[in-house]
Structure 1
Amino acid sequence: MTSTSPQPQALQRMDTTPALVACDIDGTLVRTGHPVNQPVRAAASRVRAAGHHLVLATGRSLVGALPVAVQLGLDDTWLVTSNGAITAHLVEGYYEITKQHLVDAETAIRIALAEAPVVRIAAEIVGDGYRVSTPFPDHELNGRQRPAGDLREFWTNPTPRLALRGHAAYQLVPSLRAAGLTAIATTLDWVDVTAPGISKATALEEIRTHLGVEDHNTVAIGDSENDVEMLDWAACGIAMAHAPAFVIAAADRTTGTIDDDGAASALLSLLA
């Protein structure tokens, strides 16, 4: 797919046919560490009012995604978190975890420590925070941090996702993938690890089927490596203009940057 592809025919019917619109959070709906702004809130409200399903699909933990859902005024909605490892249904301020994929933490950690002995480890505790080998800066993890007494705590307590933090941590990705794990370097010094074959796209496809949305009536908006699969999955993948070239190449078209409220423009374009 290319950014110059014509808009799919399905999008011309989105004002009358329920669609599934999946949105990344950081770098798409919000600047990391900032609340959702008014243009994005207004655009999301209009999409919802038109009868479409707005789903948050994020690398954040569930604890990190919930405040954004609240800021957007979302209710009776679906959340895909931890890069697809967790699917939750949010209704009237309460959530139910409907799907959880656990990662082989012992294998991942042994590989990481063999290649990078000083790497920091964080294992997500769903709905609470993270179990950590060494404290992370507060802004890097959502929720509480619980220090692990020893490494065995990481694999005796099931987790859907590990975060590995350290100098040139991206170099761990080939070994982790060779072991069958899903590994994504979100920065040069940070790698997220989840179960094999897990992505935002796999979770979104299950939600689409559950909701009965036609596969040609799906949209995804994102800006990062962990969005590539969902941009390819959607009938219309929309990349933020500031996204890396390979992310833009995976999309059907682009919208503005985060500074231009590109996500708001993309959402409103679906109603035109």
Structure 2
Amino acid sequence: MTPAATPQQTARPMHFTAPALIACDIDGTLLRTGHPASRAVRTAAAEVRAAGHHIVLATGRSLVGALPVAVQLGLDDAWIVASNGGTTARLVDGHFKVITEHPVDAEAAIHAALRVTPGVRIAAEVVGDGYLVNIPFPDSRLNGQQHPVRQLEAFWAHPTPRLAMLDPAAYRIVPQLRALGLTAIATEADWVDVTAPGISKATALEAIRVELGVEPWDTVAIGDGENDIEAFHWARQSIVMGHAPKHVQSEADRATGTIDDDGAASALLSLLS
């Protein structure tokens, strides 16, 4: 893997042998959290799709949070990887169908988290709806409805593909969760995403690649966070946003501009010959 390049290098086009699979992170990549995608990003996405390529949203968001972005981008026939690979869905003509769900061991994860940070906020995704929560989260931190639970047992009464944990010291939970074999990523110091063992954006993207019949060398991943690193390694070409942390930038083939520069639009357009 070559070191991340400068944003100016994104003008170099790739030459695909067939329609490509282009995996795009959402928050910090296609848009700034809480804001719609810019016109530049929407236009670039439309041009890439018009060229016959597949844009797959690959996000840590829940499915209910990813769907509005698909609508903004005009992805009326598209695949979505949600919850860091915990859920895969197909969107056709405004309707979605969940294709795969990988349940996480919520009971083990929650007990481990509470031993480290007893006051941690916990959210368990309810696919297509929102979350069960022990303590309400700030509205801007979760997509969909929040359903308070009185007993911890409610978290594992039904399968969930993803847990989110919020606490100023949430990062301290990660080693305990990984010791259980779970996939745990501190996307921020106060936020940890938990999914089933071996599950990532990359595992979900590989299944979609096979389903679409895309060759391994016709794959691209664009992102900005730690949860994009495995997707970078999976893709033939990986492009990191210019504002990404240095350790994330070092995992990608090249860099594009920042979110303020519409770096994702530049990256998408650079893929067209």
TM range (shorter): over 0.9
Q: Deviation per CA, 1:161-198: give whole Å up to 9, x if none.
A: 00111121101000100000000001111111000000
> How much has 1:12 moved relative to structure 2?
3.8
The correspondence of residues 54-133 of structure 1 with structure 2, limited to 5 A, is 54-133=55-134
Residue 240 of structure 1 corresponds to: 241
The amino acid of 2:133's aligned partner reads V
Give TM-score, length-normalised by structure 1: 0.96
Mapped pair 1:250 → 2:251: yes
SS for the counterpart of 1:13 is: coil
Residue 152 of structure 1 corresponds to: 153
CA distance in 1 between partners of 2:194 and 2:4 (Å) = 29
Residue 142 of structure 1 corresponds to: 143
Distance change (3 Å), C-alpha of 1:196 and 1:154: same
CA distance in 2 between partners of 1:159 and 1:4 (Å) = 38
Unpaired stretches in structure 2, ≥5 consecutive residues = none
User: Which structure is higher in RCO with an 8 Å CA cutoff and minimum separation 6?
Assistant: 2
The amino acid of 2:185's aligned partner reads I
Residue 225 of structure 1 corresponds to: 226
The correspondence of residues 127-206 of structure 1 with structure 2, limited to 5 A, is 127-206=128-207
SS for the counterpart of 1:18 is: coil
Give TM-score, length-normalised by structure 2: 0.96
The amino acid of 1:120's aligned partner reads R
Residue 46 of structure 2 corresponds to: 45
CA distance in 1 between partners of 2:168 and 2:272 (Å) = 45
Residue 269 of structure 1 corresponds to: 270
Residue 27 of structure 1 corresponds to: 28
8 Å contact 2:57–2:79 — kept in the other structure? Answer: yes
The amino acid of 1:83's aligned partner reads N
Q: Deviation per CA, 1:194-232: give whole Å up to 9, x if none.
A: 000000000000000110100001000000000000011
> How much has 1:13 moved relative to structure 2?
2.5
The amino acid of 1:268's aligned partner reads L
CA distance in 2 between partners of 1:4 and 1:256 (Å) = 11
The amino acid of 2:178's aligned partner reads R
Over aligned residues, Cα RMSD in angstroms? Answer: 1.2
Residue 3 of structure 1 corresponds to: 4
CA distance in 2 between partners of 1:250 and 1:186 (Å) = 16
CA distance in 2 between partners of 1:3 and 1:132 (Å) = 39
Residue 15 of structure 2 corresponds to: 13
SS for the counterpart of 1:109 is: helix
Distance change (3 Å), C-alpha of 1:12 and 1:224: closer
Unpaired stretches in structure 1, ≥5 consecutive residues = none
Q: Deviation per CA, 1:85-115: give whole Å up to 9, x if none.
A: 0000000000010010000000000001111
Q: Percent identity?
A: 67
CA distance in 1 between partners of 2:150 and 2:172 (Å) = 27
CA distance in 2 between partners of 1:246 and 1:117 (Å) = 30
Q: What stretches of structure 1 move > 4 A for 4+ residues in a row?
A: none
SS for the counterpart of 1:259 is: helix
The amino acid of 2:15's aligned partner reads R
SS for the counterpart of 2:35 is: coil
8 Å contact 2:243–2:259 — kept in the other structure? Answer: yes
8 Å contact 2:103–2:196 — kept in the other structure? Answer: yes
The amino acid of 2:62's aligned partner reads S
CA distance in 1 between partners of 2:14 and 2:25 (Å) = 23
